[in-house]
Structure 1
Amino acid sequence: MGKSAVVIGGSLAGLMHGIMLGRHGYDVTILELEDSAHVREGFDAGIRAGPHVLNFLSKYDRTGRKFDIPATGPQFIKKSGDMLFASKTAQAMSSWGLLMSILRANFDGSSSKAVPNPPKFGDDVPKGTFKHGARVISVEEMEDNVRVEFEDTVIEKTSSILGDLVIVADGANSSIRRSLVPGIVRQYAGYVSWRGTIKEDQVPVEHRKFFQHSVLYHFMDRSIVVGYVIPTDDGDLEEGKRLYNFVWYTNLPEDSPQYNRTMTDKDGKLHHGTVPRGSVRPDVWEVQRQVAKRTMPPFLATVVENTPAPFVTKVHNASSTKAVFFHDKLFIVGDALFGLRPHIGEATNQAAYHCELMEEVVQGKLAPIQWEHQVLRWGHAKQMLSIAFGALALGTKVELAYAGLQYLFLLIRQRLGYSS
């Protein structure tokens, strides 16, 4: 009888692991909470495809679909538009939805506008199973495998499935992590990210040159905005059809008068994570538009001001102290293990890194305890780096000094062999 794997969570981390395990002979089932009508909409959100993502796609992508827009950066700019500092580091900028479409095509042959003709499957490349509307209730170690109980929310029926291997990839607010590591909770960082896109043909021609092949950073008073060009979720990479994307981080203490106003949508509903695209109150967004006009270079302000449907998300820290459970049969990966602050652009790269090392576990080249040590070590370092960068961009001098010392102390400990 063949090996079976259950992946909890059908986003990028879950799909990467599902594809990799399928190529190594596992019968893979992904359990995704969202139903098929609303599954994981990307809303043209930009992402950075780091080196581990590029390695994964070069090895496992069979669509041959171009997915990125090359750029260099970061490039730090003044309000005048003059350059403060420019890194020549090569970057690959993409969109979350496009990468999702490519991964789904490789996992179970799902077609989309981005990948209308997915690759075929056979004995050497087995087709995975993707279950929508599957709310996982519990995981339980059995003698030789793990039992995963879940509710099919479409037909309101409870079922269970056995896996020789279980991958937990249900995101930064992971319910499985909470059950396995009680006391670990997400912590609000005290600031939010405003995000949005605008079609390239709506950006004035004189402003477009600043974005070409660039990842732009602009510091303001305890705030920072990042801008770059991305493909659409449907895969448009042609000049004139692409999207100009921004991510703008601003402080928003939970005890401030602005907090409830910002996190309450236009229909009066208070959100605790994200006010979705199209639901931000017009009066709240108008305040942000005016701030952008006053504080940003004109070419960045234009993108922010003319974004038709922005959304706002609270920034959190989340981490687990342990990654392997049930005698090496259950592994926590991706954001479920470390929910990194987004301004260092490492979330997708982290998922691919975990998958890269997991392949070595499957091949017998790396022991699970070694996998755990390496992913915890990497995650703690990236998390502290993201906290330090957040303090630089949005914090006080005291907060920056404290975060910098914490990061330095962590690096020293890791040089001595500790993971954290």
Structure 2
Amino acid sequence: MRETNGRHDYSGRRALVVGGSIGGLTAALLLRRLGFDVTVFERTPTDLDGRGGGIVLQPDTLRWFTECSEQHPEQVSTGTRYVQYLGPRNEILHRDPRPWRYTSWGTFYRALLADFGTERYHLGEYAAGFDQDDDGVEVRFVSGRRERAELVVFADGIGSASRSRISPGSVLEYSGYVGWRGTVHESEVSPETFELLHDSISFSVAPYTHINIYPIPSNEGGLTAGNRLLNYVWYRNVAEGADLDELMTDKRGFLGKVSVHPGQVQDRFVEEMREVAGTVLAPAAAEVVRRTEQPYLQAVYDVGAERMAVGRVALIGDAASAARPHAAAGTAKAAANAWALYDALGEADGAIPAALAKWEPGQLELGQRLLRRVKEMGTRSQVDCTWVPGDPDLRFGLYGPGQ
């Protein structure tokens, strides 16, 4: 096996990536750099461009664009200089000079897909099962398609069908609360609200609830202040069982396990959400919530992997372990998994199962450590009400607060 820049070259070998979102595309691009012939299969039948809201960008997430792409971070993101907490009259309770960069899910997805290309990116293919032998893995799709490769990476999100095969003890656990999400163009809020929010990630904290708001690129690609969207996540407690099921039933009558998409949340719940915003949130945060035309819902779940690799098959990102969003580390963890896999394979002698076995322990530990931290953060905000503005333990970070 010949080496390139100190890394083993896997030319002539094939890799399949199941899941065409941000984590899957990052993995696909890195595997292709190692010489693999890479094909991506995404179960959604239509283009993913319009999906998702905002992403807080951490170094692992941005690494592809800082080290490998002709596109640069400033072309796919926007930024602010401060982290602040707002009081009940919009007073600033705490502010730190702490710069962060953000993107929208669609902006980042488009940029990664532009680098990967669409020739080997297939929509509408749901992977139902797989089998492997000493030489490779066969993946079976519900369409009847069968694909064989020397390496398969499952990056198919929190609902991964293959997690139960690789890590059968890993099950979704409901946190006790949901995240209301939405976006509003900066031009649609009052001048006072724009001035207060445009250069910060802003928190409003009340008993058993909190919201964070930050600017992301607009759908038209606007990256500068005044041309962006204000994106938020508002966490609200909802009891598991009948209350949660009723909330997560969309306008068509279908129960969403994890999410209810924009335009599908029942009107009565949207009206209640807008009304309550004015009573518990800082006025600026409440204005952003009330001006959202189509808010949507995500039930907040935890799931931790006990295994991430079996033979020639690996799980990455939320397909392995999904952590509550409080550390803003979900996409960063998926990217970190992909970069670590790139390193493990590149440093190996070409034996894929051995490389995955070496890669797995560190990635399991990373996911478990993140899960422990975000559970504690969620308990402080939604249960114990001990979330204190400015507490350094509550900072974003994949590897620890502020890291």
> What TM bracket, shorter-length normalisation?
0.7 to 0.9
Q: What is the CA distance between 1:252 and its match in structure 2? A: 0.4
Q: Distance in 2 between matches of 1:224 and 1:292?
A: 11
Query: Within 5 A, what are the aligned runs for 1:197-212?
Result: 197-212=183-198
1:289-321 residue CA offsets vs partner (Å, 9 max, x unmatched) = 111111111111110001000001100001210
What is the match of residue 236 of structure 1? Answer: 222
What is the match of residue 76 of structure 2? Answer: 67
Deviates more, 1:232-241 or 1:198-207: 232-241
Deviates more, 1:69-78 or 1:370-379: 69-78
Q: What is the CA distance between 1:160 and its match in structure 2? A: 1.3
The amino acid of 2:235's aligned partner reads Y
**Are 1:15 and 2:1 counterparts?**
no
The amino acid of 1:205's aligned partner reads P
- Aligned Cα root-mean-square deviation (Å): 2.2
Q: TM-score, normalised by structure 1?
A: 0.84
The amino acid of 1:324's aligned partner reads A
> CA distance change for structure 1 residues 399 and 72 in 2, over 3 Å: closer, same or farther?
closer
Q: Distance in 1 between matches of 2:257 and 2:188?
A: 32
Contact 2:42 2:125 in 1 (8 A): yes
**Are 1:388 and 2:376 counterparts?**
yes
Query: Within 5 A, what are the aligned runs for 1:286-297?
Result: 286-297=271-282
Contact 1:43 1:277 in 2 (8 A): no
Query: Within 5 A, what are the aligned runs for 1:21-420?
Result: 21-35=31-45, 38-43=46-51, 45-64=53-72, 66-108=75-117, 110=118, 129-152=120-143, 158-255=144-241, 258-326=243-311, 329-364=312-347, 367-396=355-384
1:231-253 residue CA offsets vs partner (Å, 9 max, x unmatched) = 02442213333111111000001
> CA distance change for structure 1 residues 48 and 85 in 2, over 3 Å: closer, same or farther?
same
The unaligned stretches of length 5 or more in structure 1 are 111-127, 153-157, 401-410, 412-420
Q: Distance in 2 between matches of 1:271 and 1:164?
A: 35
Q: What is the CA distance between 1:105 and its match in structure 2? A: 0.4
Q: What is the CA distance between 1:386 and its match in structure 2? A: 0.7
> CA distance change for structure 1 residues 341 and 173 in 2, over 3 Å: closer, same or farther?
same
What is the match of residue 123 of structure 1? Answer: none
What is the match of residue 415 of structure 1? Answer: none
1:264-293 residue CA offsets vs partner (Å, 9 max, x unmatched) = 223433322212101112221111111111
Q: What is the CA distance between 1:205 and its match in structure 2? A: 1.0
Q: TM-score, normalised by structure 2?
A: 0.87
Deviates more, 1:343-352 or 1:82-91: 82-91
The amino acid of 1:140's aligned partner reads D
Q: Distance in 2 between matches of 1:233 and 1:369?
A: 41
Q: Distance in 2 between matches of 1:148 and 1:260?
A: 33
SS in 1 for 2:263: coil
Contact 1:28 1:129 in 2 (8 A): yes
> CA distance change for structure 1 residues 42 and 220 in 2, over 3 Å: closer, same or farther?
farther
SS in 2 for 1:87: strand
Contact 1:8 1:31 in 2 (8 A): yes
The amino acid of 1:303's aligned partner reads V
Q: What is the CA distance between 1:192 and its match in structure 2? A: 0.2
What is the match of residue 394 of structure 2? Answer: none
Q: How many residues are matched?
A: 373
> CA distance change for structure 1 residues 398 and 235 in 2, over 3 Å: closer, same or farther?
closer
